[in-house]
Amino acid sequence: MVTAVAVGLGLAAVGSTLAGAQGDDTRRGTDSLSADEVAAAIDDSGAPPEGGAEAQGPNGLPERLVLLVERHIEDKDADATLRRADVYEYDYADDTLTTTLIDLADGEVDEAVTGQGDQLPLVEVEAQRALELLFADEAFAARLADEFQAATGRPLGDPDADLDVQPIVFRADAVPTAASSAAADCGIARCAQFMIQTTDNVLINLLPLVNLSDAVVVSIEGPGA
């Protein structure tokens, strides 16, 4: 089966603050965030909720996308009752990542920092879009069929049945040879690389690369090709 390994949130927005909230799902101190806290942090940060009607960009992805929400790691001498969350939102319009620090007690934004070059793991919608772009590429499809035949001795049938394809985020500085290729933009642009094997664990000798920011297949063979 062609699969997408990614970190998805699967969250719906709820109220903009959790002040005074109590119940079985209430977290305290260094407990991990509850589902309600995560949803409230997204809402208070101004980021679009997961599954919301966010505008889609020319690359076929939401222009703004929450990649991760996690409990903020406080200093050792911080108030033990303080609970804050970091919301990481990617903006495909300018390839920037904004990290917003939310005080969960009152929903206030304590800090917001925007920059480039930090690439968190792909979320599900990105992984699926990367797969769509890759398998729509005719040159890749032809090369994949050849490599599958060479590796297994049999023709490629249904990719969903014959292959396990796992997209992961890629940065050019992870592969020095990529610096002089079209993959050099990866790290500023958001890119996905693919690990491909058969469903019976035979590795396929391809490491294709997709630039999600531009919605293009950068390389069929690998980032240094």
pLDDT tens track of the chain, all 225 residues?
554 433 333 333 333 333 333 344 566 667 899 999 999 999 999 998 865 556 789 999 999 999 999 999 988 887 877 899 999 999 999 999 999 999 999 999 999 999 999 999 999 999 999 999 999 999 999 999 999 999 999 999 999 999 999 999 999 998 877 767 889 999 999 999 999 999 999 999 999 999 999 999 999 988 766
Residue 17, pLDDT score: 36
Phi-psi region of 118 (alpha: psi -120 to 50; beta: other; left: phi over 0): beta
Residue 3, pLDDT score: 47
d(Cα 113, Cα 96) in Å, to the nearest integer? 10
d(Cα 196, Cα 225) in Å, to the nearest integer? 17
Using CA atoms of 89, 60, 49, 194 in order, give the dihedral in degrees to the nearest 10.
-60
Question: Would you tell me how many other CB atoms lie within 10 Å of the CB of residue 54?
Answer: 16
Closest alpha carbon to 83 in 5, 18, 179: 18
| Predicted model pTM | 0.84
Closest alpha carbon to 85 in 43, 53, 22, 125: 43
